[in-house]
Amino acid sequence: MANTILIGAQWGDEGKGKIIDVLTARADIVVRSQGGNNAGHTVIERGKKYILHLIPSGILRRGKMCVIGNGVVVDPVALVGEIEGLRKLGVKIDKNLLISDCAHLVLPYHRALDEQRELRKGRAKIGTTKRGIGPAYGDKAARTGLRMCDLMQPRLFSKKLQAKIRENNAILRALGAKPINYDEVNDAYLAAGAKLRPFVTNTVVYLHRALQRDKEILFEGAQGTFLDIDHGTYPYVTSSNTTAGGACTGTGVPPHRVDRVMGVMKAYTTRVGEGALPTEDRQVAKRLHELGREFGATTGRARRCGWFDAVATRYAAMINGIDDLAITNLDGLDDVDPIKVCVAYRLNGKRIDVPPSDALQLENCEPIYEEHRGWKKSTERAAKFSHLPPRARAYVKRISELTGARLSMISVGPERAQTIFL
Ligand code: GDP
Ligand code: IMO
Ligand code: MG
């Protein structure tokens, strides 16, 4: 397999974890480049469910190296919890995990500020995961963040932490929020740091040496294209570059070492949190929720659902340079008839085929649909493209054509085996 960047082509939760797990079989290294434990990537292996937040989804395959790159924001206490949780489930984690010494830390005041900002926004809230992601990336951009390499130097870390807590407590008090206790945080973070020490290194050097030895890298995107800080539905976005470019800055692997970009998209659309979702449809949501599907892997919130939005995915194909498409959750439409696909938007009486940059304008876009007849048959056992009902084949071909990229994988269930390669 070539060095591949895998990104979400919609609003996150496209099934990236499942596709990464499948593709890891052919890769040597899986690396996360952005986001933090706001991500929730589900992998189901032999009926056992794993939800990965900070650790790359490749961890479930023996003999594969997993790297948390410099662009990720790491809550060390949450990461230790995740490692211990996976170990309890029988996953081996020792020499197969590396953490960048440049990765920024998420601290309790980031989470407290995240919560306060959301509270203060009232109805205009973003609907964040409250994991402190925005404030942590804010500190990074302001050049006031603490990094993994600080945590590896306990005395220096404690000193910096004390100053940061003093500064942030002044803000929290002014907002009427509970201040952070330095001693408690210092103890918890130093204890987590000691547990993480064996994994912390300069991952840029590791990755470059691996490339020299022709090792193949799979870049695991978190969130999705429309949650990108630059290209997403600002301000209803996350605080990192979730699009393909972020994979290079977030790992230190140069662009010319990337061979292809794979976009993962659901056969319909979902979004969790606030912000426009032009094709949102209550009936689609009701049906999927009744099947017990589309509840957030990180926060458990019910995801908003709607029809496939080709205006969005075509834009995603452009920004990310998607070569190959993986369409997931095709089985979610098994008993839906008719099935709608959004091919353009109408805004102020005009037909447009790219999403407007302004949040309010996007909110006012009316989808223009084409209708497809449903296949009304289970696709869950299809192992080959030819096993799919003809209408399901026509549907995936059509949404790939509208997106403008080659269809190379179809997922018809959460298990590894429920994957069709083309
Ligand atoms: P990610 O964040 O992109 O990794 O996606 P999530 O794990 O948050 O959400 C995707 C959900 O869909 C998870 O519950 C997966 O187990 C599930 N899933 C992935 N692919 C398929 C599929 O083809 N069919 C079904 N039924 N479920 C799928
Ligand atoms: P994966 O990797 C879906 C959403 C939140 C909110 C916005 C900002 O599992 O696809 P944040 O906590 O990042 O400041 O929240 O982004 N969000 C996600 N939605 N999947 C995710 O990750 C998400 N990570 C963040 O719901 O709307
Ligand atoms: Mg998810």
Boundary of a domain, candidates 166, 183, 199: 199
Judge if the beta carbon of residue 252 lies within 6 A of ligand 1: no
Q: What type of residue sits at position 213?
A: R
Residues 197-204 have a mean pLDDT of 98
Residue 274 confidence (pLDDT) above 80: yes
Q: What is the residue with the minimal CA distance to atom 6 of ligand 2?
A: 128
58 and 172, same domain (yes or no):
no
Residues 6 or more apart in contact with residue 131 via CB below 8 angstroms: 36, 37, 38, 75, 78, 106, 111, 114, 298
Strands 48-52 and 41-45: antiparallel
Give residue 143's domain range.
Answer: 104-199
118 and 78, same domain (yes or no):
no
269 and 348, same domain (yes or no):
yes
pLDDT of residue 360: 95
Q: Domain with 153 in it: what CATH number? A: 1.10.300.10
319 and 404, same domain (yes or no):
yes
CA of 153 to the centre of ligand 1 (A): 39
CA of 38 to the centre of ligand 2 (A): 6
253 and 281, same domain (yes or no):
yes
Yes or no: say if 258 and 248 are a contact pair by the CB < 8 Å rule: yes
| Ligand 2: nearest atom to the Cα of 16 | 10
Cα angle, residue 222 at apex, residues 187 and 334 outer, rounded to 5°:
130
Work out the mean pLDDT of the chain and round it to a whole number. 97
CA of 110 to the centre of ligand 2 (A): 16
pLDDT of residue 164: 98
Residues 6 or more apart in contact with residue 214 via CB below 8 angstroms: none
Neighbour tally for 385: CB within 10 Å: 15
* HSE (side-chain half, CA atoms, 13 Å) at 360: 1
Task: Tell me if residue 41 is catalytic.
Answer: yes
195 and 208, same domain (yes or no):
no
291 and 336, same domain (yes or no):
yes
181 and 210, same domain (yes or no):
no
Residues 104-109 have a mean pLDDT of 98
Q: Per the residue annotation, which of 41, 53, 104, 372 is the catalytic one?
A: 41
Yes or no: say if 4 and 261 are a contact pair by the CB < 8 Å rule: yes
Residue 128 confidence (pLDDT) above 90: yes
pLDDT of residue 334: 97
Residue 1 confidence (pLDDT) above 90: no
Pocket of ligand 2 (CB under 6 A): 8, 12-13, 38-41, 126-129, 131, 133-134, 222-224, 227, 238-239, 272-273, 297
pLDDT of residue 126: 97
Boundary of a domain, candidates 180, 199, 218: 199
142 and 264, same domain (yes or no):
no
SS (H, E, C) 322-349: CCEEEEECHHHHCCCCCEEEEEEEEECC
Identify the nearest ligand to the CA of 11 by its number.
2
pLDDT of residue 106: 99
Boundary of a domain, candidates 199, 219, 234: 199
Q: Domain with 69 in it: what CATH number? A: 3.40.440.10
387 and 403, same domain (yes or no):
yes
89-98 tens-digit pLDDT: 999 999 999 9
304-353 tens-digit pLDDT: 999 999 999 999 999 999 999 999 999 999 999 999 999 999 999 999 99
Task: Tell me if residue 13 is catalytic.
Answer: yes
Q: Which two tokens stand for residue 321?
A: 């340079």
12-50 tens-digit pLDDT: 999 999 999 999 999 999 999 999 999 999 999 989 999
Length of the chain: 422
pLDDT of residue 396: 98
| pLDDT > 70: percent of the chain | 100
The number of domains in the chain is 2
**Interhelix angle 310-320/390-403, nearest 10 degrees:** 50
Neighbour tally for 245: CB within 10 Å: 19
pLDDT of residue 104: 99
